[in-house]
Amino acid sequence: MGLFDFFKKKETAPEAQEALDKGLEKTKEGFFSKITKAVAGKSTIDDDVLDNLEEVLVTSDVGVSTTLKIIDRIQQRVSKDKYLSTSELNHLLRDEIQLLLAENNSNDFRQFEYGQHKPYVIMVVGVNGVGKTTTIGKLAHKLKAENLKVVLGAADTFRAAAVEQIKLWGERVGVRVVAQAMGSDPASVAYDTLQSAVANGEDVVIIDTAGRLHNKIGLMNELGKIKNVMEKVIPSAPHEILLVLDGSTGQNAFEQCKQFTEATDVNALAITKLDGTAKGGVVIGISDQFKIPVKYIGVGESMNDLQLFDKKAFVDSLFK
């Protein structure tokens, strides 16, 4: 089995679908109660309904730009058939959101080629508190379950807690952790981790980085230095720069995505804590606006609640 092929096998399982449905409950409840109010007393989809729907999407953290695209698409459908009933709105909305995500994010996770690089290097970025360390631990758990050799690099050396958390996850999952003393050079930790991964024949390296959104130039320099050092060991590394965002923060997640994508070459997103919020619409907006694949979503507390993001399954679950 190739690297990450296990996601294809497991994520379609009934238990994964059940976890997704449960994780999106709060978003669904908020979303549909708002839509019900938006169409109250209306039999057809008119301008008032579309105005109300626009407000529903914006307040569900889909984002203004993406909301306007969706409304425009529905408006075009409605103009072709003047007598579309409000009962058809959910169906229309689901179709248009799925189409939008498919068009804007053609590079889907399932189509990515893995296994060409050994070790495959993932650098994880994101601010403190978004679930970065937990995401690293859960991802390591999934990879380890498929008999892949994983090593974690504790390159967030500015917080003693960050290093300790990575070590705890390493023990819990049963994977090796490379760490140095607090205050060490993060690039040095990354270098040591990659060197030892090559020497030990490990399959995947996951490097944690400092979760500070200080000035953008500082962030850019720091992440740039880590990348440059990695390239000295493995010229193509890192193969993936994974930005972790907290879905419950709504518009703050958009701003963090903007800052990090300007600071480094983010090519994958993980959106966490979707089970604890009604702001799941943020996944739709971020996926559309930044044109970067959302690869993983966090829909619960358990080790198996980090899921591969499947656009169709996500939207279907939202409209169930």
212 belongs to an annotated ligand binding site: yes
Q: Is 209 annotated as contributing to ligand binding? A: yes
Residues 6+ apart with CB under 8 A from 310: 11, 12
The neighbouring-strand residues paired with 240 are: 122
266 assigned binding-site residue: no
Is 246 known to sit in a ligand binding site?
no
Residues β-bridged to residue 297 = 271, 307
Residue 252 annotated as part of some ligand binding site = no
Is 140 annotated to bind ligand? no
130 assigned ligand-binding residue:
yes
Beta bridge partners of 287: none
For 251, what's the count of Cα atoms within 13 Å in the CB-facing half-sphere?
A: 7
6: tokens are 């296990």
Q: Which one-letter DSSP state was computed for residue 274? A: G
Q: How is residue 277 annotated by DSSP?
A: -
Residue with tokens 């089995």: 1
Residue 130's Cβ-count burial label (10 Å; 0-12, 13-18, 19+) is buried
User: Is 12 marked as a binding-site residue?
Assistant: no
128 assigned to a ligand binding site = yes
Q: Is 127 annotated among the ligand-binding residues?
A: yes
To the question of whether residue 211 is assigned a binding role by annotation, the answer is: yes
Residue 132 among known ligand-binding residues: yes
Known binding residues for GTP are: 126-133, 208-212, 272-275
Known binding residues are: 126-133, 208-212, 272-275
